[in-house]
Amino acid sequence: MSRTELVLLRHGESLWNAEDRYQGQMGTGLSALGHQQAKLAAEYLRSHVFDQIVASDLQRVTETLQPYLDSLPTAGTAGTAGTAGTAHGADGARTANAAGTANATGTADAAAAPDRPGTANAAGAATADATGGAGPAGTTGRSRSADAPDGAGAAGAEYVVGAAADGVGAVAAEYVVGAAAGGGGAAGAEYVVGAAAGLAYARQPGDAECGGRPGVRVDRRWREIDVGAWGGRTFADVYAAEPGVVEAFGRGEDVARGGGETFAQLRERVWEAIREIASSGARRVLVVTHGGPIRVATASTLRLPPGGEVLLDPPVNCSLTTIQVDDLLAVTTLTAYNVPTSGTASTEEQPA
């Protein structure tokens, strides 16, 4: 029976957190303090090794994750002669092997992203497993790699992304990520990444083990609870307009605030997301998410009854909660809850 450890990181302070506004699935990016918290969290996590990274697609989460991704190694690992390397360099470089040659017939430019203008070699053609079919000498090559599972690509980043497309780092040619499409062009659904969110990085098997970046997977099930029409409104405004609903929620009633979700609905979707991670075989996974999902994940781990999440203190910004689960979710353990990664987190409860 395999065991998976999930390290749950709440996002840094957002602009709406600072203004005591309900966010739900709306909201803004990070405040200046939130960006500082995200950098400190990245430093805290640098000594940790993860097989996978899973993240909500909301802006405050992607901005929290970015400093950690930036801190990870960017050097690519070389393949053997005649095979495609797994170059994940920040400049979009992709060397075919240690010597920088695609195979015995010609050299590929190891310093340039495959979709930039230029010649692939003196003959004007590179091999398919290095950069894909390049154009004639002096023309712009199209780097649709023959290794891409379906040759798919999205408008704006037609074939293989490099640093210019997503601002994060090059993606191995085997995973074709559509930067302009906001996540609609990846080859292999498990690696669909929202480039508009700034997380266009996919992984090949074994990357984390050999010192590369773990894969990032965006999963909307890790979004904050939906508070419907309450999103963007301050606590004071909502209480003045709907005191009965606010008071019912304060008594522990599981109401769908603003016509959005109940905690029972949130708990169901988050537990399903955990089930998927647990069955993946990953040993250690970083999940960057929100306070609501962390509370219900903890409540489920502890086998608390419905509504039990309200007994838990809301996680502070950029705090870590760690749970361990087996692949059947039969044995679940909470090993840490609401551990700050810096001394800058507010301990005041914030609207969701």
Residues forming the annotated binding site? 10-17, 60
Residue with tokens 């781990």: 301
**Strands (DSSP E) found in the chain:** 3-10, 52-55, 101-103, 106-107, 215-218, 284-289, 319-326, 332-340
Q: Which residues are annotated as a binding site for substrate?
A: 10-17, 60
**Centroid of chain to Cα 325:** 21
Judge contact between 234 and 19, C-beta under 8 A: yes
Kindly write down the DSSP assignment for every residue of 255-268, as one continuous string.
Answer: --GGG---HHHHHH
Whole-number CA gyration radius for the chain = 22
Judge contact between 33 and 18, C-beta under 8 A: yes
Tokens of 346: 């507010």
Is the sign of the CA dihedral 171, 176, 180, 181 positive or negative?
A: negative
**Centroid of chain to Cα 125:** 36
Residues 108-144 as b/e (b if ≥16 CB within 10 A, e otherwise) read bbbebbbbeebbbbeeebbbbbbbbebbeeeeebbbb
